[in-house]
Amino acid sequence: AQSVTQLDSQVPVFEEAPVELRCNYSSSVSVYLFWYVQYPNQGLQLLLKYLSGSTLVESINGFEAEFNKSQTSFHLRKPSVHISDTAEYFCAVRSPRQGAQKLVFGQGTRLTINP
Amino acid sequence: DVKVTQSSRYLVKRTGEKVFLECVQDMDHENMFWYRQDPGLGLRLIYFSYDVKMKEKGDIPEGYSVSREKKERFSLILESASTNQTSMYLCASSFGQGAREQYFGPGTRLTVT
């Protein structure tokens, strides 16, 4: 069975500081990896995903995540955060097996940006 | 734009009531999902459906049932609501096979008193 662990439940940072949100997964097979973001009072939106190929994936708003197979990690980073990045971030994993549509989510990390 | 709508943003029900949560998507997606979201636990899958009238149990189906009579609509039913079902309920949909992203509705915050 697959599982996802987000190591920090809350991460407070100052505006324009760098941030890293950590995600580790466990799976005996290859996986697809996702980061979703939930802004206050909204549903989840896909931020970025890793399917195959380059291990570094980027989002349109400056976030990036690196797939590390040996460490079974998919940490999310941003070099300089903005107040508007305040949200809860969820890491998720899915099997690439045909027909498997289930996502397994981590516990979430609440990112708070202080001015 | 894909739109997933949920019938209520906030709902308050009494213990023992039958509760219906409705979800509608407008993009002809085959797959639909119901999750509950609780602090510190992330999202947990209750039920999902990959076609009309088809359903599969997720990780926490106890106390819930679902109905999918039309492709665009997926209903979550709490047969007899209990206080431990107080939670945020999120509906999602996705298209077909492959690594398709799931599109989420805004959520229904259900309080059972």
Poorest-pLDDT segment among A65-74, A97-106, B53-62, B65-74: A97-106
At residue A65 the predicted structure's pLDDT band, cuts being 50, 70 and 90, is very high
At residue A99 the predicted structure's pLDDT band, cuts being 50, 70 and 90, is low
82-101 in chain A: CB under 8 A from chain B: 90, 94, 96, 98-99, 101
Q: Tell me: the pLDDT tens digits for A7-31?
A: 999 999 999 999 999 999 987 777 8
* Percent of chain B predicted with pLDDT > 70: 96
Q: Tell me: the pLDDT tens digits for A24-54?
A: 998 777 788 999 999 998 889 999 999 888 8
Quote the pLDDT of residue A97: 67
Chain B CB contacts of A109 below 8 Å: none
Chain B CB contacts of A44 below 8 Å: 43, 90, 92, 102, 104
Quote the pLDDT of residue B98: 64
Cβ atoms of B9 and B89 within 8 Å: the answer is no
Q: How far apart are CA A101 and CA B45, in angstroms?
A: 11
Chain A to chain B Cβ contacts (< 8 Å) = 55
Per-residue pLDDT at B75 exceeds 70: yes
Cβ atoms of A63 and A5 within 8 Å: the answer is no
What is the DSSP pairing of strand B103-104 with strand B42-49? unpaired
Give how far Cα B4 sits from Cα of B1, B30, B105, B108, Å: 10, 13, 5, 12
Quote the pLDDT of residue A14: 96
Chain A CB contacts of B105 below 8 Å: 43
Cβ atoms of B101 and A90 within 8 Å: the answer is no
Q: How far apart are CA A52 and CA A29, in angstroms?
A: 14
Nearest residue in chain B measured CA to CA from A108: B42
Per-residue pLDDT at B38 exceeds 90: yes
In the predicted model, what is the mean pLDDT of residues A63-82? 95
Q: How far apart are CA B111 and CA B82, in angstroms?
A: 9
Q: Does A64 touch chain B (CB under 8 A)?
A: no
Cβ atoms of A2 and A102 within 8 Å: the answer is no
Closest CA to B31 of B89, B79, B99, B83: B99
